[in-house]
Structure 1
Amino acid sequence: MAFDHNDHYHPLLLRQVPPGAALALDVGCGTGLFARRLAARGMTVDAVDPAEEVIEAAPRTTGVRYVHDDITTMDLPEAHYDFISCLASLHHVPFGTVSRLRAALAPGGVLAVLGCYRESTAGDHLTTLAASPVNAVARLALSGRRSSSPVRAPVKQPVMTLDEVREQAAALLPGARIRRLLFWRYLLVSRTD
């Protein structure tokens, strides 16, 4: 389908990029659409994904270096990246991985996570109630369009609730802001000094 929840939030994520950012890391990049959008803004992007098939299918673009690797074990340079993004990928790895990502941020850098969570509260279910008809209309409106890539990254259901994400983020990323979004996602933003 042409309507993709993650792609829908690209403009929101791009607004989190700090001024003057030159180096970015896109974790769980899939076929690299967001990485290419970062590169189009003049950044050099390391786009990492553990799924070899999506890395191979990613269109090659100036400014994007695709890396087939596991973010939990790969060598990450400390204090290096101006911007690190994780789009619907953090729930595929232990949440504590955010500590490694934050350590890889340069001073003034931003970690932006578009995350998925397991529904558990009345607020979660109310959000679903509001999102479902909007989602159906968006899918119907875009039904004649093709999706951006025939290759899809592996999907995994999230195990952490939004409250658990907030609790872990408070412990590992002091000062991080978390906001529930409409289409079954949250935005976590952590900035370094």
Structure 2
Amino acid sequence: MTESAITRRGSRREAIIAAAQRLSISCGYTGFTVEDLAAAVGVSRRTLFNHVTSKEEAVLGVLPVVTDEQAQTLRNGGPTGDLFEDLLETTLQCLRADEDDLEDWQRLHDVIERNPELILRVKAHVEELYELIVEHLSARDGVDPDRARLALTLVGGLVQRSVEECIADPSKGPLRPRIHTNLALAREILTARD
């Protein structure tokens, strides 16, 4: 597949996800069919399923995943050799934090607000991802599951707070700088002496 074909494929998938989320917000998750989604994007049902495997994937398609390459890097002690920094950088990559566009996060937030039945699906995805990352981190020298879970909890809290801030006030900037601002604040709090 050529690079332009891959780009078109990715653009089509993004268009499908955006349309599915808009339909979920306006009609509710159960208020539209796959055929409605295909029509909204201007593709056939068959083409739609070349880009997503289900209606749920179309609606929640922007949820983060860890690639095999990222997992192997974490297992091997990379990318920097520092557990917290490695986990934070991998998380930022998974969240596509370098993209200036926060519309995906805002739409996903609005979808979940409008369709609370999807919270369980998102929660299950996050729990699976959490355990997978703990498994990869625990394969590193000197990292046991407790250490991996605590590092992941710290990164998760930092990311959650930063995403919430970006959604509440997009003028605060893209996700990566917001996370680094909050990380600096967290370090200041943790090193403060009374």
TM normalised by structure 2 equals 0.25
- Higher RCO (CA < 8 A, seq sep 6+): 1
Could you say which structure has the higher strand fraction? 1
Could you say which structure has the higher helix fraction? 2
TM normalised by structure 1 equals 0.25
